[in-house]
Structure 1
Amino acid sequence: MRHAARCRPCWNWPAARANCTHARAWQVGLTILVGDGEDRAARIESALKAYGEVADSAEVTWARWFLAHTLCGTGDVSEGAALTGQALGGFRELGDRWGEAAALSDRAAQRLLAGDLAGAEEDAARSVELFGAAGDTYGQLWSVYPRSAVAAIHGDYARSSALQRDALETVQEFGLATHEADLLSGLGRNALLTGDFAAARTYHERARRSAVDIGFRAGEINAVLGLGLGARREGLFDESEIHLRTVLAWHRDVGLDGANALILAELGFIAEARGDASAAWGLQQEGYATARSTGDPRAVALAVEGLAAALALSGAGEPAAVLLGAAAATRAATGAPLPPAERGDVDRATAQAWELLEREAFETAFRRGEELGPHEAVGVAVASGRTSSTRVGS
C-alpha cells in the first residue's frame, strides 16, 4: 500500500493541483499572446473555473489580471474589462500596489477604447505614480499607449510623440524589442497625422522590420496597418488596399473582429475615392455593424462618417447630412471632436453634401442628425438608400 500511495498521480496532492491550475492559466494566456484566438473566451473561462478548488485569493487575482492583460496585448482590450476590474479589486484588498498599478494600466486602455478619455488618463496617471513608487521603470511603460493616444485624440501630437520618444529611449536601453516596434508605429501614426508622410513611412517600415526580426506578428500587423493608412492618404490606393486586407484577414484569423471597424472604414474610403459608391456603402455598412459591437463611440462615429461619405458620393445629400450631424454629436459627447488634422474625410463628405443641398436644408438635416444620435440616424439613411435610385440602394 505504501508503494501504491507513492504512485498516485501528482494532481491528487493539493499543492501540485494548485500548481497545475496556475500553469494552465499561464499557458492559456501565453497562447493568446502569440495570436491563438480560437475559442479564446471559452479557454479563459475554463482556466479560471479550475480555481474553484484553489483557495489562494492572491493566485486567482494574478490569474485574472494576466489573462485580461494578454487580451490587451493582442488588441482585444474590451473582452478583458470585467476580469481587469475583478483583479483590480483583488489587488486592492491584498494591498498589492504593484498589482494595482498593473491593473490600472490595463483599465486605462480599456477606458480609452470605451471612449472614456478622462478615465483613461486618470488610470494611466495613477498607474505611473504607483509604478514609480515601486521603482519599476518598465511597468511605467504600460501606460504610455493610453496617455499618448489621449493626447493625439485631442490633437496634441507634440505631447503624444514626446511620450513615445521618451519611452523608446527606455525600451532601447533595456532591449525590449516588442515595445520598440509598437512605439515606432505610434510615432509613425503621429507623423501621418501631422502630414509628414515620408517620416510616417520610415517609422512604420522600421517598426515592421523590428517586429519581423523577433517574430512579433501583432507588432508587424500594427506596422502594416500604419503603412496602409499612409498609402491611402498619399493616394496610393492599390498599395493601401493590399496592406489593409492583410490586416483585415489577420484580425479575423486571431478573433479580433472588433479591430476591423477601422479597416472596413478605410477600405470604404478607398472605394469612395475610386468612385464606387455601391462598394463604399457596403463596406461602411459592415464597418458600422462591427463598430457597434465594440461599444467604442469613436469607432461608431467613424463608421457613420463613412456611411455619410458613401451617400454623398451617390448624390443622397440629405441623409448624408443627417449622418454627419449624428457623427459630430457622438464625437462631441466623448469630449474629443475631430481635430483639424483628422477632418479630411469628414470635410470631403460635408462639401459634397453641401453642394447637393441648399445651406438651410443642409443645416436642418445636420441638426436632425445631432438630435437623433448615430443608430437612429443610420436607420434613416438605410431607409433612404433602399428607396433611392442611386447605386447605393442597388
Structure 2
Amino acid sequence: MLRAEYAENAGRLDRMRADVDAALDRFRQAGDRWGQATTLTMRAQLRQYDDDLDGALADLRESWSLADEFGRLSPADELFRDLRRIDLRLRRGDTGTALALLDSARERAPRVVSEEMLVLLDALEAGFRVRLGDLDRARELLDDAERALRGEATFPGDHVRTLLGNVRASLCLELGDPAGAARALTTAYAAALATRDVPILAVVAVTTAALAEAYGRPHESAVLLGAAARLRGAHDPTDPQVRELTARGRATLGEEAFAAAYGTGRRLDRRAATAEVDPARYVAARYPAR
C-alpha cells in the first residue's frame, strides 16, 4: 500500500495499480478493515482515470463504510471525504447534488477545522465554483484565501499555493484575461515544483494547455495535455477541463493532428515533461502579448 502511494506521487500508475490490487487482496485475507478502507480510496482514483466513475464512487462508499466502523472521523477527514464526493459528483454531471454537498461542507467547516484547513477549503471550493460558472463567488473565495495565506508567514502551503494559483488562472481565463492567467500559472508552477508532487504539477499543466488555447495555439495545447498525462501517469477523461480541451482540440486540428501532438507530449520523459509545461517558457517564447 505504501509503495502504491509513492508510485502515485511519481506518476507511475502501472506500478500503483499492481500494488493496490495486491494490497487490497491481502488486507481482505487478513480481515484488516483499516487497510481495506485506505486502499479502496486509492483504487477509486485509478477507476476515475479508467473512466469508471460509478466504480470509483462504489469504492469510496465501501471505504467510508469500513472507516465508520472505527468510530466518528475527525472533522478534517470528514471535510476531505465531502470534497472527494463533490468532485466525483461534478465529474458525473450531478451538479445539484454537488452544490448541496458543497453548501453543507461550507456551513460546518468554520466550526470544526483549523485556519489552514479553511484556506484549503476556500481554494478547492473556488475551483469548483469556476467549473460551475459562479465566477463572483470564486473570486471572493480566492481573495479570502490569498489574504489568509499572506498573513501567515509559516503556512505549510506549497500545495495550497499551487491550487490557489491554478484556480486564479482558470478564473482569469474565464474572464478573458490570459495575461493574468499567465502570471498566476507562473506562481502555481513554482509552488508545484516545490511540492515534489507530480500529479499536482499535472493539474497546472492542464490549465497551461487552456492558456495555450486562449492564445490560439491548439497544437501546443494538445502537446501540453499529453505532457500532463505523462506526469499524471494516465489520461484523465472525466476531468471536465481535460475533456473540453480535448474535444475542442480535435475539432480544430482534426483527429490525426491532435493525436500526433498529444502523443508528442505523452512520450516525453519526466524531466522533459516538467520543462515542457513551464508556463513562463511558453508565454515568453511563444505567446507575446497582443
Q: Calculate the TM-score normalised by the size of structure 2.
A: 0.75
CA 1:206–1:112: 2 relative to 1, 3 Å: farther
Counterpart of 1:235 in structure 2 is 133
**Whole-angstrom distance in 1 between the partners of 2:55 and 2:105:** 20
Counterpart of 2:95 in structure 1 is 197
The aligned amino acid for 1:346 is: L
Alignment of 1:1-394 (within 5 A): 104-105=1-2, 107-132=3-28, 135-173=31-69, 174-178=71-75, 179-215=77-113, 223-247=121-145, 249=148, 253-315=154-216, 317=217, 321-332=219-230, 334-342=232-240, 343-344=242-243, 346-347=245-246, 350=249, 354=252, 373-374=272-273, 375-376=275-276, 378=278, 381-385=282-286, 388-390=288-290
Give how far 1:269 is off: 1.3
**Whole-angstrom distance in 1 between the partners of 2:32 and 2:158:** 34
* Residues 232-251 of structure 1: per-residue CA shift (max 9 Å, x gap): 11211121133345555559
CA 1:300–1:171: 2 relative to 1, 3 Å: closer
Give how far 1:367 is off: 6.6
If asked which structure has higher relative contact order (CA below 8 Å, sep 6+), I would say 2
The aligned amino acid for 1:350 is: G
In the alignment, is the contact (CA less than 8 A) between 2:172 and 2:180 conserved in 1? yes
Give how far 1:145 is off: 3.0
**Whole-angstrom distance in 2 between the partners of 1:184 and 1:362:** 36
Larger radius of gyration: 1
* Residues 85-127 of structure 1: per-residue CA shift (max 9 Å, x gap): xxxxxxxxxxxxxxxxxxx34x433332221223334444444
Q: Calculate the TM-score normalised by the size of structure 1.
A: 0.58
In the alignment, is the contact (CA less than 8 A) between 1:155 and 1:341 conserved in 2? no
In the alignment, is the contact (CA less than 8 A) between 1:225 and 1:243 conserved in 2? yes
**Whole-angstrom distance in 2 between the partners of 1:175 and 1:215:** 15
CA 1:218–1:153: 2 relative to 1, 3 Å: farther
SS of 1:275 mapped into structure 2: coil
* Residues 150-170 of structure 1: per-residue CA shift (max 9 Å, x gap): 222332211211122223334
CA 1:162–1:358: 2 relative to 1, 3 Å: closer
Give how far 1:195 is off: 1.4
SS of 1:142 mapped into structure 2: helix
**Whole-angstrom distance in 1 between the partners of 2:276 and 2:180:** 23
**Whole-angstrom distance in 1 between the partners of 2:255 and 2:246:** 15
Percent identity between the two aligned chains = 21
Give how far 1:176 is off: 2.2
In the alignment, is the contact (CA less than 8 A) between 1:308 and 1:321 conserved in 2? no
Equivalences, count: 279
In the alignment, is the contact (CA less than 8 A) between 2:169 and 2:181 conserved in 1? yes
